[in-house]
């Protein structure tokens, strides 16, 4: 579900007309709905309630600390991949987040980052390679720390997503091949400081079906059994993230659908479960709102040029990602029932929606049917909550746009717009 709906032809985020936000805060702007991401978290918590499950929201999807605080208050832990994300989690921690509910993945953790995480007392290091494990053991011994770790294994499972966001196959930089896992445990378990007590798997992002998840659990459980039979204590399974998010209405399984496939397999396994959802919590809890600067004809094409660019939302350019795009104010007959690519209605026109950046890849949609917009009209880019703001940059010396959180009939700026001065503040 999400809480971005048209009322009398005007787009609302929960109880707030998005035009009000644009007029007060300016555009482009990211707008998040608190009710939506809390609902998504709750649905995952409910779906897996039967098993001892820790949900570790993937901060990389959207790391604004106000959002992290709300998720932590609702019981979420965090999946981090850098010292910076640890720092963000700590800010949420100040509001009561439990640091032991943090899992730390990433193929290139530096000594500094590892020590910061050890000092914080995170739950698990998700180990991506043998050299990383050796280094973690050495640092623990040198600095008098102990910690828990999960070995990330590559189950070599086919995953239907864009090639840039598929990771659970052989020959990726992530994790170790599942066949090598037993050797790694044999060599490094009983090291005295790093308790190797879990298995981690992450297949990729943007999943559309539950099969890969069911298949990898089936592949990993025999590994757990084999490890246990050799005397290793394995008490947790981290199934990573990548659960489908609703970019187009009704095209992905729900949390309950995933759980229906996964939970029965785990009932007898006596394993704690860790999940690292990003998109499925935050993607359609956010939109990017932008204003039409110009409309122009080029050859056969009509271009709608908006004031957001690929620096604000890079997903279409980087992954050919689909985002539903629709004006924020429309005639009642244009209120969309579905958010699909091929939503054609009589009276719409086919346009390319592009940004102002000096690159041909600076587009949000090509050959897309949309109700006619004019200069000054607001346009909403839907399902932009995940990997939207977090992947934004200052390219073309464009200030980073603000983030706004809507809660019922109220909204607050949870990150202000950068100024030109902010942009050069660290330069000499
Ligand atoms: N756990 C691990 C180890 C990950 O690498 C990721 C995402 C997640 C969890 C969360 O995955 P999610 O539930 O959000 O799909 N920028 C790309 C997605 C990159 C995903 C990277 N890893 C995009 O915009 O589609």
Query: Is the backbone peptide bond immediately before 41 cis, with ω within 30 degrees of 0?
Result: no
Nearest CA to ligand 1 atom 20: 205
Q: Which of 248, 281, 314 is the last residue of a domain?
A: 281
Stretches where the chain sits below pLDDT 70 are 94-97, 160-171
Q: Which of 225, 257, 281 is the last residue of a domain?
A: 281
Residues present in the chain in total = 428
Looking at residue 162, its pLDDT comes to: 60
Looking up residue 9, the CATH number of its domain turns out to be 2.40.37.10
What sign does the dihedral 19-279-342-338 (CA atoms) show?
negative
List, chain by chain if needed, residues with CB within 6 Å of any ligand 1 atom: 58, 61, 79, 105, 165, 202, 205-206, 240-243, 276-280, 315, 319, 386-387
Token reading at 288: 């990017």
Domain identity same for 69 and 102: yes
Looking at residue 244, its pLDDT comes to: 87
Nearest to 329 by CA among 11, 14, 21, 25: 11
User: How many A from CA of 259 to the centre of ligand 1?
Assistant: 19
Looking up residue 64, the CATH number of its domain turns out to be 3.20.20.10
Domain identity same for 27 and 63: no
Domain identity same for 256 and 311: no
Looking at residue 370, its pLDDT comes to: 96
User: How many A from CA of 80 to the centre of ligand 1?
Assistant: 11
Domain identity same for 78 and 206: yes
Domain identity same for 358 and 254: no
Looking at residue 15, its pLDDT comes to: 98
CA distance 270 to 274: 13
For the question of residue 358 being annotated catalytic, the response is yes
Domain identity same for 20 and 50: no
Looking at residue 160, its pLDDT comes to: 67
Cβ-Cβ contacts under 8 Å for 68 (sequence gap 6 or more): 57, 59, 78, 88, 89, 91, 92, 97
User: How many A from CA of 240 to the centre of ligand 1?
Assistant: 9
Domain identity same for 207 and 293: no
Looking at residue 248, its pLDDT comes to: 76
Q: Which of 281, 301, 334 is the last residue of a domain?
A: 281
Looking at residue 163, its pLDDT comes to: 62
Domain identity same for 24 and 62: no
Domain that holds residue 422: 4-32+283-427
Domain identity same for 85 and 233: yes
Query: Tokens 């019922």, residue?
Result: 408
Per the structure, the count of domains in the chain is: 2
Domain identity same for 262 and 201: yes
Q: pLDDT tens digit string along 216-254?
A: 999 999 999 999 999 999 999 999 999 988 877 778 999
Nearest to 237 by CA among 220, 259, 251, 222: 220
Domain identity same for 197 and 48: yes
Domain identity same for 338 and 277: no
Query: Tokens 């605080």, residue?
Result: 69
The residues with which 124 forms a beta bridge, in sequence order, are 103, 148
Token reading at 117: 């995480």
pTM of the full structure? 0.96
CA distance 417 to 405: 14
CA distance 265 to 392: 39
């Amino acid at each position: 579900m999400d809480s971005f709906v048209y009322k009398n032809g005007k787009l609302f985020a929960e109880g707030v007309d998005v035009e009000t936000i644009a007029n007060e805060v300016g555009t482009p702007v990211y707008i998040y709905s608190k009710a939506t991401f809390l609902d998504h978290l709750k649905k995952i918590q409910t779906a897996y309630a039967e098993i001892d499950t820790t949900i570790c929201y993937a901060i990389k999807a959207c790391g604004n600390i106000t959002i992290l605080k709300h998720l932590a208050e609702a019981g979420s832990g965090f999946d981090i991949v850098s010292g910076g994300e640890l720092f963000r989690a700590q800010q949420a921690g100040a509001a009561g987040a439990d640091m032991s509910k943090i899992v730390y993945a990433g193929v290139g953790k530096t000594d500094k980052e590892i020590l910061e995480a050890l000092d914080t007392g995170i739950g698990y290091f998700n180990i991506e390679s043998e050299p990383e494990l050796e280094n973690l053991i050495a640092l623990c011994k040198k600095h008098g720390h102990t910690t828990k770790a999960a070995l990330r294994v590559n189950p070599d499972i086919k995953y239907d997503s864009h090639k840039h966001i598929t990771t659970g196959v052989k020959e990726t930089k992530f994790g170790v091949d599942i066949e090598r896992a037993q050797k790694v445990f044999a060599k490094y378990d009983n090291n005295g400081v790093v308790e190797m007590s879990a298995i981690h798997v992450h297949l990729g992002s943007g999943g559309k079906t539950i099969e890969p998840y069911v298949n990898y659990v089936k592949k990993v459980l025999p590994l757990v059994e084999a490890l246990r039979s050799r005397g290793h204590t394995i008490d947790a399974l981290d199934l990573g993230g990548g659960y489908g998010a609703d970019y187009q209405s009704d095209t992905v399984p729900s949390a309950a659908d995933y759980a229906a496939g996964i939970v029965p397999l785990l009932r007898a396994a006596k394993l704690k479960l860790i999940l690292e959802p990003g998109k499925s919590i935050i993607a359609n809890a956010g939109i990017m709102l932008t204003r039409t600067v110009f409309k122009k004809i080029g050859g056969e094409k009509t271009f709608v040029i908006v004031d957001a660019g690929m620096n604000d939302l890079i997903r279409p350019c980087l992954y050919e990602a689909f985002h539903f795009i629709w004006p924020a104010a429309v005639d009642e007959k244009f209120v969309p029932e579905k958010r699909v690519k091929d939503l054609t209605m009589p009276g719409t026109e086919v346009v390319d929606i592009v940004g102002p950046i000096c690159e041909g890849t600076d587009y949000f949609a090509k050959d897309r049917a949309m109700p006619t917009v004019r200069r000054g009209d607001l346009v909403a880019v839907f399902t932009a909550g995940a990997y939207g703001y977090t992947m934004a940059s200052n390219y073309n010396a464009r200030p980073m746009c603000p983030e706004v959180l809507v809660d019922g009939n109220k909204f607050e700026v949870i990150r202000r717009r950068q100024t030109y001065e902010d942009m050069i503040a660290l330069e000499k």
